[in-house]
Amino acid sequence: MVKEKLSDTWLYTGAPDHIGLVVPPAPMAEGGHVVALTLPNGTIRLMATRDPARYVGQVLHQVDGFGGETDGVKVFVSVRHYQYQAIKRWIARHLDEHRIGSDAFDVPFAVLARRVNEAFSATGGMRN
């Protein structure tokens, strides 16, 4: 099955090819999503976007263009939230010791997931 529910925070988990089937682009007035992209080398890219399918496609195109591996990539898309950009920044600040690039982290997914759940729990009333 394409969609697998990890918690109330994650709307989609799976291959990048199927995001558009489950998560349509969010209208501007309805917020956006926090997206975690796990690469085969263990790096996690953290993003905030209204259109996860398009953004993930662009990132994977860049990774592929620089000779990076894109097979085995897994994508996690959060539920829609009005403060999606602020949530992504909060998560990034709390993972600073694991940062290896501007939005790239060398961190176990369980640690990232815990931070994402904390952020969404703290702002739960603003979910869309």
Residue 71 counted as domain residue: yes
* Structural domain harbouring 69: 10-123
User: How many Å apart are CA 124 and CA 9, to the nearest integer?
Assistant: 10
Q: Which two tokens stand for residue 45?
A: 């890219």
Number of structural domains (the chain) is 1
Residue 1 counted as domain residue: no
Residue 107 counted as domain residue: yes
Residue 83 counted as domain residue: yes
What pLDDT does 111 receive? 92
CA distances to 2, 34, 53, 75, 92 from 20, in Å: 11, 15, 5, 12, 25
Q: Which mean pLDDT values do the consecutive 10-residue runs of the chain (128 residues) have?
A: 57 93 92 93 93 93 81 92 93 94 90 89 64
What pLDDT does 94 receive? 92
User: How many Å apart are CA 86 and CA 93, to the nearest integer?
Assistant: 11
What pLDDT does 32 receive? 95
Residue 49 counted as domain residue: yes
What pLDDT does 99 receive? 94
What pLDDT does 54 receive? 95
Q: Which two tokens stand for residue 31?
A: 């917020």
Residue 89 counted as domain residue: yes
What pLDDT does 70 receive? 79
pTM score over 0.75: yes
What pLDDT does 74 receive? 94
Residue 128 counted as domain residue: no
What pLDDT does 50 receive? 97
Residue 31 counted as domain residue: yes
What pLDDT does 55 receive? 94
What pLDDT does 3 receive? 42
